[in-house]
Amino acid sequence: MSSTAIARPPIEPEWALPSRGRVGMFSLIAAEAAIFTIFVVAYIFYIGKSLSGPLPKDVLELPIFGTFCLLSSSLTIHLAVRALRNAKVGAFGLWWLLTIALGAIFLVGTGREWRRLIFEKGLTVSTNLFGTTYYSLVGLHAFHVTAGLIFLTIGMIFTLLGKVKPEHSERADIFSLYWHFVDVVWVVVFIVVYVIGR
Partner 1 sequence: MASETIALSVVNHGARPIGDRLHEWVVTVDHKKLGILYILYALMFLVIGGIEATIMRIQLIVPHNHFVSPEVFNRMFTMHGTTMIFFVVMPFLFGFANYLVPLMIGARDMAFPRLNAFSFWLMALGGFLLYFSFVGGNGLYGAGNAPDVGWWAYAPLTSRAFSPGHSTDYWTLALLVSGFGSIGTAINIIATILCLRCPGMTLGKMPLLAWLNLVMAGMVILAVSPLTAAQMMLSIDRYLGGHFFDTQAGGSATIWMHFFWIFGHPEVYVLVIPAFAFASEIIPVFSRKPIFGYPVMVAATVCIGFVSMSVWAHHMFTIGMNSYANSFFAITTMAVGVPTGIKIFNWIGTMWGGKIEFKTPMLFCIGFLFQFLIAGLTGIMLGTAPFDWQLGGSYFVVAHFHYMIVGGILFALFGAFYYWFPKITGRMLNETLGKLHFWLLLIGFHLTFDVMHIPGLLGMPRRIYTYEPGRGWEVWNLIVTIGTFIQGIAMLLFVANLIFSYWKGLKAGNDPWDAWTLEWSVSSPPPEYNFPRIPVVKSRRPLWDIKHPEDPDWKYE
Question: Applying CB under 8 A, does 154 fall inside the site for partner 1?
Answer: no
Q: Are the C-beta atoms of residues 179 and 147 closer than 8 Å to each other?
A: no
- Coil vs helix vs strand at 134: helix
Residue from 80, 83, 129, 182 in contact with partner 1 (CB under 8 A): 129
Interface with partner 1 by CB under 8 A: which range of 20-28, 62-70, 90-98, 102-110? Answer: 20-28
Q: Is 56 within 8 Å of 197 (Cβ atoms)?
A: yes
Largest CA distance in the chain: 79
Q: Which of 89, 104, 105, 140 binds partner 1 (CB under 8 A)?
A: 140
User: CB of 194 within 8 A of CB of 65?
Assistant: no
For residues 84-123, which are near partner 1 according to CB under 8 A? none
Least distance from C-beta 119 to partner 1, angstroms?
17
Among 189, 169, 178, which Cα is nearest to 74's?
178
Residues engaged in binding partner 1 (CB under 8 A) = 1-10, 12-13, 15, 17-20, 23-24, 27-28, 30-32, 34-39, 42, 45-46, 49-51, 124-126, 128-129, 132-133, 136, 140
